[in-house]
Amino acid sequence: MSIGNSPEDERPFENEHVEADHEEARPSIGRALQQARIAAGLTVDDVSSATRVRMNIVHAIEADDFSACGGDVYARGHIRTLAKAVHLDPAPLLAQYGDEHGGRPAPTPAAPLFEAERIRPERRGPNWTAAMVAAIVAVVGFVGFTMFRGDDGSNEANVAEGSTPGDSASPTTKTKKPADPEPEPSDSAIAAAPQDKVTVRVAAADGRSWIAAKDHNGRMIFDGVLKQGDTKTFQDSSKVHLVLGDAGAIDLFVNGKKIEENFQPGSVERLTYTKGDPEAG
């Protein structure tokens, strides 16, 4: 009887070869995104322009280098965004990323609720038109008040005890009633944005987010990451273009009004706002 390995002893080695072949058959995340981009006939510049993900980050992800993303949450968001841009289902890629990087990140505690800081208007010069209107109203009111008091004074002089006709003809000295003080400006007037400009305020309320802002000529005003709690205010004579890398983490205030939009966490939003009532373009 010969002593050797039985078929049962060789079976685990066969299974290991099968698993190794399966791993080799599945491309990496970066490779899958690159192949899908090429198949769609898109360049890295095309994908970067469509998703607002920087070209260096697109190159790094296609090389399976996620260190430039700024963390697992942003890496998952970039994978999801790039996959949709090249017509791939992001779910298998996100599952593969979780397998290779320790699963989904631990949930972070919810940020405490806080009242959004009111937008402060820029310092402006005195409103001469409003002052002139107020002065005209005050003069008209004073003239009417004086005429009314003059009639009452003549009657009082005629019926006053011990008065004479000559006394009634003499002018009666009267104390002028001081004009009512002008009311203090309301909170809404203080918080109002200039009507001749568009003012956009971005607040990172629920987490970090990459923000890009351009003026009406297409010039870049800001391009960077807002940390949680940071705010930025942009102003232009007619139009402000925005790109939000993680719109779900952002609170928007346009021309003194909060924009109530149900943006999803990790979603990329491209918005345009003009003077007058807030209106997304």
Residue 203 phi, psi (nearest 5): -125, 125
The pLDDT value recorded for residue 57 is 95
Q: Does the pLDDT value for residue 225 go beyond 70?
A: yes
pTM to 2 decimals? 0.33
State how far the Cα of 254 lies from the Cα of 198, in Å rounded to an integer: 7
Q: Tokens 């996959």 label which residue? A: 83
- Residue 6 confidence class, pLDDT cut points 50, 70, 90: very low
For 16, the token pair is 């290991």
State how far the Cα of 120 lies from the Cα of 101, in Å rounded to an integer: 44
State how far the Cα of 205 lies from the Cα of 200, in Å rounded to an integer: 15
Per the prediction, the chain carries an average pLDDT of 74
- The residues that bridge with 259 in the sheet, in sequence order, are 252
Q: Residue 117 CB: number of other CB atoms within 10 A?
A: 11
- Residue 52 confidence class, pLDDT cut points 50, 70, 90: very high
Q: pLDDT by residue (tens digit) across 242-251?
A: 898 888 888 9
- Residue 38 confidence class, pLDDT cut points 50, 70, 90: very high
